[in-house]
Structure 1
Amino acid sequence: MHGTDPNAPKRGLSAYMFFANDNREKVREENPGISFGQVGKMLGERWKALSDTDRRPYEEKAAADKKRYEDEKASYNVSQHPCLFFISPC
């Protein structure tokens, strides 16, 4: 049985997810009683309306988080399968 290792690194967030995390509460405050689905729809509309300049900080965060994930994944893979990454008897 294959499961997800709870110690595995978490994938990097997308630029949109950083934007959504920063703006979700504001959308809820501006629209009391709004459904979860409507919050997502409004966030998507706001994301699409952002200029390239306004998107840039979120894209930079996403790039940094992708690098973090790749670095953590490389270390994790070595810790899980050291014989595959080093030339030494195991």
Structure 2
Amino acid sequence: MATDTNAIEFAKLQLVGSLQGLAQHLRECAMVAEAYGHTLMGQPFPHLPVNGQFPMGMGPPVMPVAQENGKKRKRGEDAEGKKRAKKPKDPNAPKRPASSYLLFQNDVRNELKAKHPDMRNNELLSTIAKLWADMPQEQKDEYERRNKLAKDKWLAQKAIYEGKAEAPAVAVSV
């Protein structure tokens, strides 16, 4: 039923927006007709803009997204209406591992730079991307295996860092 209510509300808002647009166009049409009448009588019409242009009418309404408290909020704002502060990253947190493509890119970049020292960076990256695309799957599997090992290690470090897993126990001699 909530979906039907939302659909009805949206359709109602579209109708209201269309009627407002129609009313604006009718007002503009009435002004043009009045100006035409004054032109026929030889009197200047003061209400028209200098270049004869009219301001653009409103488009159809966009369905507002209401929050729990019934207030609308703008994109990129939190509940208080202020911009959200970017959460600072902890420099001690474990770094996410490089993807298999980045591992390949790091391996090949220096070799290509040595062969082509005058090649611009964007050309270099395009060449590396083409090499990766043309590479047989067996060679890609090696980079994917390296990525999987690094990712498993990172997940273990992340779990320890976040306190979800116990740190390895250290034997204490008495």
Q: TM-score range by the shorter chain?
A: 0.7 to 0.9
Task: Looking at secondary structure, tell me which structure has more helix per residue.
Answer: 1
Q: 1:75: which partner in 2?
A: 160
Q: 1:5: which partner in 2?
A: 90
Q: Deviations over 1:29-71 (max 9, x none)?
A: 1212111111111110100010011112101000001101110
Equivalent residue in structure 2 for 1:55, among 133, 140, 144: 140
After TM superposition, list the pairs within 5 Å mapping 1:20-35 onto structure 2.
20-35=105-120
**Shift of the alpha carbon at 1:6?**
0.4
* Gaps in structure 2 of 5+ consecutive residues: 1-84, 165-174
The aligned length equals 79
Q: Which has the higher contact order (CA 8 A, sep 6+)?
A: 1
**Shift of the alpha carbon at 1:75?**
0.5
- TM-score with structure 2 setting the length: 0.43
Secondary structure of the 1:33 match is coil
Secondary structure of the 1:7 match is coil
Q: What value does the CA root-mean-square deviation take over the aligned residues?
A: 1.3
* Gaps in structure 1 of 5+ consecutive residues: 80-90
The runs of at least 4 consecutive aligned structure 1 residues that moved more than 3 Å come to: none
**Shift of the alpha carbon at 1:14?**
0.7
Distance 1:37 1:51 in 2: 24
Structure 1 or 2, whichever has the larger Rg, is: 2
